Structure 1
Amino acid sequence: MTDEKIEWRKEEAGFSLRKKPQILTIPAQNYFSIKGNGDPNLPDFQKRVQTLYPLSYTIRMSQKNDWNIPNFKLYTVYPLQGYWGIQPQYLDAPVMQKEHFTYTISIKQPDFVTDAIAAEALVRAKSKIDADLFDQVFFDHQPEQLVAQILHVGAFDDEPESFAKLEQFIDEAGYVRSEKEHTEIYMSDFRRVEEAQRKTILRVAIQKK
């Protein structure tokens, strides 16, 4: 372990809480992830979320559990995020419903986490993960990506207003969305922050017109 700390809230632009929309290049990153379908308000979604935290904290607390990870740096566990789309059979539905959603929920891992370290974390955390979901968790490698993002403050059901601002910004900057899916990064602790004050980063992939 080195004395250097990962201060991702300060150092990584992708987690900026600035209210104005912005265009960023997100570097290649690694995540623990799990996929799912349906309404995120139902218990299955929360069960899937709970598969990711034991893995993330097993790595974060490794130095206290006799696991010497090469190049380990102290850090705060990264926030939960979701990559959201619509299940193919519902793409032509006249009205989109929450049960139509498909998603990949993830927690980013520091750069020192390799495939081998991720595999070891899965072994060490297995007893804390729902046995029915354990085989669905995977270590995900995402390539560099050009994105536009905006900070949304408030309820998830009010996100369309923020997305409208983001779409206008993208158009005026000379870009278009390169895919229909979007990413949400949950910067607030839902257990402690009331709905009206919750902060969520809304992010979409873009390309030049």
Structure 2
Amino acid sequence: MTQPKVDFKKILPGYQASLGRPALITTAPTRYFAVDGSGDPNTAEDYQQALQALYPVAYALKFASKDRGQDYVVPPLEGLWWAEDMDSFTRLRDKSTWQWSMMLLIPSWMTDADAEAAIQRVAHKSSPPEAVYRVRVMELDEGQCVQALHLGPYDDEGPLLEHMHHEFIPQHGLELTGRHHEIYLSDPRRAAPEKLRTILRQPVRRST
């Protein structure tokens, strides 16, 4: 019997956040399809190739799940971002120094073998995406995090990130750990820049 279509944005706590107001959450270990790269996402060909590989693989997994009676909306794109100097995300916004992993969530009921089969299914097409051979299955266990919702262009994230990193986190006896995490609730191809909704997440731990 076919189950109701799942929309992860509506049911997973990690996809909920308050506008401009950082809050503490605890995340569960989550598996993703991921492709790693570096450089400015606005200009790096590497970034576009990553997306061109991730989505076909994600849809291949979705169709496999649907064939078994469980359909779902492909989850929003997510990204891990890091650099040697974290100020490049807040004060400097120097995108040329950024490293990243772009990710799409794998539903909990689909196994690693299912995910690997989806990658192979896309890789064996007549004209596979160039970066499909870089798609990997990864598990992310961030634990305690601070996150908030940003509304507007990506380039305007700096003040909220600076508030999270330099005010909210130390004021709560926490320190940064892990990589800056973004969840893109809006499609930039369809939403105006001022209406883009992005969850900004930072893993944290208690200060020693």
Report matched runs for 1:23-172 at 5 Å: 23-42=24-43, 43-62=45-64, 67-68=67-68, 73-86=70-83, 97-126=94-123, 127=125, 129-131=128-130, 133-167=131-165, 168-172=167-171
Q: Distance in 1 between matches of 2:87 and 2:80?
A: 20
Name the stretch that deviates more: 38-47 or 74-83: 38-47
**Structure 2 unmatched runs, 5+:** none
Structure 1 position 12 matched with structure 2 position 12 = yes
Which whole-Å CA distance do the structure 2 matches of 1:39 and 1:144 have between them? Answer: 25
Partners of 1:54 and 1:129 within 8 A in 2: no
Shift of 1:44: 2.3
Over 3 Å counting, the alpha-carbon distance change for 1:186 and 1:91 in structure 2 is: closer
How many angstroms does 1:175 deviate by? 1.5
Equivalent position amino acid for 2:180 in 1: H
User: 1:138-164: CA deviations, max 9, x gaps?
Assistant: 011122521100111111111111112
Counterparts of 2:3 and 2:54 in 1: how far apart (Å)? 26
Cα distance, 1:53 vs structure 2: 0.4
What does residue 178 of structure 1 align with? Answer: 177
Q: Deviations over 1:159-186 (max 9, x none)?
A: 111112323222232222124x301111
One-letter code aligned to 1:28: P
TM-score, scaled to structure 1: 0.85
Q: 3-state DSSP class of the match of 1:27? A: coil
Long gaps (5+) in structure 1: none
Task: Please give the alpha-carbon distance, in whole angstroms, between the structure 2 residues aligned to 1:6 and 1:22.
Answer: 26
Look up the SS of the partner of 2:46 in the other structure: helix
Amino acid at match of 1:175: L
Using the size of structure 2 for normalisation, the TM-score is: 0.86
**What RMSD over aligned residues (CA atoms) do the two structures have, in Å?**
2.3
Shift of 1:12: 1.0
Q: Distance in 2 between matches of 1:203 and 1:157?
A: 16
For 2:86 and 2:161, locate their aligned partners in 1 and report how far apart those are by CA, in whole Å.
Answer: 19
